[in-house]
């Protein structure tokens, strides 16, 4: 048998085996308990067709052009080099992260209503002496009709809702982005949002995610 035919047969076999596994364990992603019904590390989902999040290419091109004409030049002038444009995350790892977040949140009775991607900068990226824009992602829950970032790991450990703002304050940073009122009250002209601590930062593990790849436009030479 030719190698190409053998490869095709193997692909078909593993595809059918995966589908049979999902059917056997009755994978239902709209069921909050779906992960407990399938083997650990297996992810399945239902295709509901085109979703509201999906963009048209006219929208994409418009957004990219807007960034090009309003962001690149000012950032390059301020930094002395062009900033990163792309952040890439491992898809399977991201699904595992979401599963962990959902599980921890469910155990402490917190409903995950969203996920925030927060702009940050990685200092001295790859020992280049340069910082590049990066993203931190963390789940949110709805409080008073507003999306509030919270730490699922610390919430689980402490047995109550622990907000991202609380944990950042314990580590010397004032988060002002939960509401317009907080933003207007806390905004500083020097952009210094450090908080003086009487003790060392807690440096506890967080429920936020980030581990991905930055792609500065022309490398980091």
Residue with tokens 């999902």: 22
209 token code pair: 């995610």
| Centroid of chain to Cα 115 | 7
Give residue 19's region: left, alpha or beta (phi > 0; psi -120 to 50): alpha
pLDDT of residue 7: 53
pLDDT of residue 78: 94
pLDDT band at 214 (very low <50, low <70, confident <90, very high): confident
13-17, 95-99, 147-151, 203-207: range with lowest mean pLDDT: 13-17
Looking at the chain, the whole-number percentage of residues with pLDDT higher than 90 is 61
pLDDT of residue 187: 95
| Centroid of chain to Cα 192 | 25
Q: Does residue 2 carry a pLDDT above 70?
A: no
As a whole number, mean pLDDT of residues 87-93 equals 91
pLDDT of residue 220: 47
122-170, pLDDT tens digit by residue? 999 888 899 999 999 999 999 999 999 999 999 999 999 999 999 999 9
φ, ψ (nearest 5 deg) of residue 57: -70, -25
Distance CA 1, CA 34 (A): 40
As a whole number, mean pLDDT of residues 100-128 equals 93
12-38, pLDDT tens digit by residue? 555 545 545 544 444 455 455 545 556
Q: Does residue 172 carry a pLDDT above 90?
A: yes
> Is pLDDT larger for residue 199 or for residue 105?
105
Domain boundaries, the chain: 24-54+86-207
Residue with tokens 């980091």: 220
Distance CA 192, CA 96 (A): 35
Q: Does residue 119 carry a pLDDT above 50?
A: yes
């Amino acid at each position: 048998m030719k190698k190409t035919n053998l490869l095709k047969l193997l692909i078909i076999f593993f595809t059918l085996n995966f589908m049979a596994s999902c059917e056997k364990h009755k994978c239902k992603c709209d069921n909050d308990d779906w992960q407990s019904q399938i083997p650990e590390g297996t992810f399945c989902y239902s295709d509901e067709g085109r979703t509201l999040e999906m963009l048209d290419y006219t929208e994409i091109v418009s957004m990219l052009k807007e960034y090009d004409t309003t962001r690149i030049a000012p950032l390059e002038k301020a930094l002395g080099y062009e900033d990163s444009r792309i952040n890439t995350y491992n898809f399977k790892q991201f699904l595992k992260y979401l599963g962990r977040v959902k599980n921890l949140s469910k155990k402490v009775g917190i409903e995950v209503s969203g996920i925030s991607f927060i702009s940050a900068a990685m200092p001295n990226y790859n020992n280049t002496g340069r910082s590049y824009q990066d993203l931190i992602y963390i789940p949110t829950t709805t409080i008073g009709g507003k999306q509030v970032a919270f730490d699922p790991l610390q919430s689980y450990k402490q047995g109550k809702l622990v907000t991202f703002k609380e944990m950042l304050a314990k580590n010397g940073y004032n988060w002002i982005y939960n509401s317009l009122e907080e933003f207007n009250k806390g905004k500083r002209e020097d952009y210094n949002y450090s908080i003086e601590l009487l003790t060392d930062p807690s440096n506890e593990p967080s429920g936020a995610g980030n581990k991905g790849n930055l792609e500065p436009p022309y490398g980091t030479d």
